[in-house]
Amino acid sequence: MRRSLGALPLAVLWGGPVVLALPFLILPALDGEAWQLLLAHPQLAPGLALSLATGAAATLLALAASLLLLAGLHGSGARRSFEAASAAGLALPHLAFAIGAGFLIMPSGLLARIFVGGGEPPSWISVQDPWGLSLTLGLALKEIPFLTTAAFATLKRGEHAGALEAQCRAARSLGHGPGSAFLRVVLPQLLRQLRWPILAVFTYGATVVDMALVLGPTQPPTMSVVIWHALNDAEPAQNRMGLVGALLLTAALALAAGAAAAMLAALRRPLRRFLTGGPSALGLPRRQAMSLGLALAAVFALSVVMLLMLSVAPRWPYPALLPPGFSGAAWETLAASPNPLWLSLGLGLATSTSAIVIAILWFETQPPARDRWVVGLALASLALPQLALAAGQYRLLLGLHLSGTLAGLFLAHLTPAAAYVVLVLSGPYRGFDMRYMAAARALSASSLRAWLSVKAPLLKAPLLTAGAIGFAVSMAQFVPAQLVAAGRHSTVPMEAVTLSAGGSRPLTAAFALALAAPPLAAFLLAALLGKPRWR
């Protein structure tokens, strides 16, 4: 009885709205005419290939860079400052990063102005290149902070950190160098706990729209952009084609992820041989990690500086190194409507807290074997292109007369926030060494007391990080929120998207920075409060 009660909040508040939205997706899947339209679309095959290739390449690049950073910073003093930097990078919205970094590398961008000059911009094919290279690079750079933050949350977990350190010491005493110990002891455990965040990065990268619009190729564009155009069309036939396109893309993603998992399984034996090999005197790539970390920090910092400049420069023609004039009009527009900010902050706090609570209730009451259902659901809700899932959920809430209400808005924000919280939390929570709890109970503490005084402090870092990620995700919600709000409520992203629909770069830049500020505060707070207290 208690068991099912523990699963109830998650099932009702999060699982229900997701699962019940799915039938609205299945019906259009049977639409033969929509499939015909889609299969005849000349951009289908190249767009699909681009989406999968950019998503996969960006994931691999981000993963490789993150692992290099983690290895190089393992046990180093620079780790703490890199953690804070990661949090800052994570808080910057994708679109903001794309605009800022895009302005660095585009033909009329800052680099061309500094290094080329002349009356006309060079004919560089940098942003929107037909091969999707700038999109891949932008995605990879932007996902590194997410992967490293998730990894740090795992490594910092109170009891786990101690065990890992002991294992590393043991490996060192067996003659392994620090690099070899990281590779053979830390990395396998880390990757295991990072598998869902990695998959989330892949699905996000292969379905992203806003970044693809700024940095991605245009003829053909990625499939997500084709779908986005179709779903936004006034013609219902085009909308239906967009919906089946979204389903096809999801199926392709599942297939690709399945293939990757099968490949890893086949590699298990040779991997095991490698893991049990050694000892080797391999060192840690400290210098490489430091230079990569500094380069990353420089790119992010420059992007933010670009955004700040663009937000006050109504005009900045090539080849001027500074805008010819400054104007605060964009910031004034932003300050003129404070209500969306309060609504966004309120929703962010409410959804991230609720997400943490329902996730804890689930993990505490359900056997680990059932996790695959919630993790699967979380992945599905993130992998299904937002527009499709949001459309289904909107119809559901409309039928319940919840559209245009704050309750409906809360549920729509909880869907993605809880999905991320579940994914980020499942690894650390399930990896918790239950002997600590057994010891506490043996000292005759009640289960609540044992949880509060033993488990919660040990899991503090991952809980806070998950909360901050949930808050950031909620703050950034646009598509589902826009549908469910039905024009009766407005949040910061809604204001940002609608006001910058005219393409005003100062306004877009100002809103992007404003959107980054609250999550930045949340991440810094999580990093600060998540410090293990015995250090």
Partner 1 sequence: MPFAITRRSLLGLIGLAPFRTAARAEGAWQAIMKEARGQAVYFNAWAGSPQVNGYIAWAADVLKARHGITLIHVKLADTAEAVRRVREEVRAASPGSADLIWINGENFRAMKQEKLLFGPFAETLPNFALVDTAGKPTTRIDFAEPTEGLESPWGMAQLTFFGDGARLGAPPLSMPALLGFARDNPGRCSYPAPPDFHGTTFVKQVLAETIREPSLLRLSIGKAEFADAAKPLFDFLDALHPHLWREGRQFPLSQAQLTQMLADGEVEVGITFNPNEPANLVAAGTLPRTTIAWQHAGGTIGNTHFLAIPVNARAKAAAQVAADFLLSPEAQARKADLAIWGDPTVLDLAKLTAEERALFGSGDAPGAVRHPAPAIPEPHGSWVSLIEAAWLERYGA
Total residues interacting with partner 1, rule: CB under 8 A: 63
Does position 123 interact with partner 1 (CB under 8 A)? The reply is: yes
Does position 84 interact with partner 1 (CB under 8 A)? The reply is: no
What character string, x for contact with partner 1 (CB under 8 A) and - otherwise, covers 326-355?
-x-x---x----------------------
What character string, x for contact with partner 1 (CB under 8 A) and - otherwise, covers 471-490?
-----------xx--xxx-x
Does position 46 interact with partner 1 (CB under 8 A)? The reply is: yes
CB of 498 to partner 1, least distance (A): 4
Binding-site member from 243, 450, 507, 509 for partner 1 (CB under 8 A): 507
CB of 59 to partner 1, least distance (A): 25
Which residue stretch of 66-74, 221-229, 341-349, 431-439 sits at the interface with partner 1 (rule: CB under 8 A)?
221-229
Distances (CA, A) of 534 to 77, 161, 298: 16, 12, 33
The separation between CA 286 and the C-alpha centre of its own chain, rounded to angstroms, equals: 27
- Tell me the C-alpha distance between 390 and 105, whole Å: 34
Distances (CA, A) of 513 to 96, 100, 134, 330: 7, 10, 22, 11
- Contact status, residue 532 vs residue 156, Cβ threshold 8 Å: yes
Distances (CA, A) of 11 to 83, 117, 422, 484: 34, 59, 13, 20
CB of 123 to partner 1, least distance (A): 6
Token pair recorded at residue 202: 């892949």
- Contact status, residue 217 vs residue 129, Cβ threshold 8 Å: yes
CB of 139 to partner 1, least distance (A): 18
48, 51, 57, 58: CA torsion to nearest 10:
-170
CB of 257 to partner 1, least distance (A): 26
Does position 33 interact with partner 1 (CB under 8 A)? The reply is: no
Contacts of 393 (CB under 8 A, 6+ apart): 17, 18, 21, 24, 411, 412, 415, 480, 483, 484
- Tell me the C-alpha distance between 129 and 125, whole Å: 6
- Tell me the C-alpha distance between 23 and 249, whole Å: 18
Binding-site member from 4, 166, 233, 529 for partner 1 (CB under 8 A): 233
- Tell me the C-alpha distance between 446 and 444, whole Å: 6
CB of 117 to partner 1, least distance (A): 12
Which residue stretch of 148-156, 165-173, 309-317, 451-459 sits at the interface with partner 1 (rule: CB under 8 A)?
309-317
Token pair recorded at residue 371: 């996790």
CB of 500 to partner 1, least distance (A): 7
The residue (of 41 and 172) whose beta carbon lies closer to partner 1 is 41
Does position 120 interact with partner 1 (CB under 8 A)? The reply is: yes
Does position 239 interact with partner 1 (CB under 8 A)? The reply is: yes
- Contact status, residue 58 vs residue 143, Cβ threshold 8 Å: yes
Does position 294 interact with partner 1 (CB under 8 A)? The reply is: no
Binding-site member from 2, 30, 77, 235 for partner 1 (CB under 8 A): 235
The residue (of 67 and 330) whose beta carbon lies closer to partner 1 is 330
- Contact status, residue 463 vs residue 355, Cβ threshold 8 Å: no
Does position 20 interact with partner 1 (CB under 8 A)? The reply is: no
Does position 499 interact with partner 1 (CB under 8 A)? The reply is: yes
- Contact status, residue 330 vs residue 495, Cβ threshold 8 Å: no
- Is the link from the previous residue into 279 a cis peptide, with omega within 30 of 0? yes
The residue (of 270 and 502) whose beta carbon lies closer to partner 1 is 502
Binding-site member from 32, 42, 270, 367 for partner 1 (CB under 8 A): 42
Does position 503 interact with partner 1 (CB under 8 A)? The reply is: yes
CB of 318 to partner 1, least distance (A): 4
The separation between CA 25 and the C-alpha centre of its own chain, rounded to angstroms, equals: 24
Does position 431 interact with partner 1 (CB under 8 A)? The reply is: no
Binding-site member from 1, 219, 269, 273 for partner 1 (CB under 8 A): 219
- Tell me the C-alpha distance between 2 and 105, whole Å: 57
One-letter-per-residue 3-state SS of 150-204: HHHHHHHCHHHHHHHHHHHHHHHHCCCCHHHHHHHHHHHHHHHHHHHHHHHHHHH
Binding-site member from 217, 416, 427, 428 for partner 1 (CB under 8 A): 217
Does position 210 interact with partner 1 (CB under 8 A)? The reply is: no
Does position 502 interact with partner 1 (CB under 8 A)? The reply is: yes
Distances (CA, A) of 466 to 46, 193, 431: 36, 14, 15
Does position 43 interact with partner 1 (CB under 8 A)? The reply is: yes
CB of 461 to partner 1, least distance (A): 38
The residue (of 365 and 490) whose beta carbon lies closer to partner 1 is 490
Binding residues vs partner 1 (CB under 8 A): 41-43, 46-47, 106-108, 120-121, 123, 125, 128, 130, 213, 217-221, 225, 229, 232-236, 239, 314-319, 325, 327, 329, 333, 394-395, 398-399, 401, 403-404, 482-483, 486-488, 490, 494-495, 497-505, 507
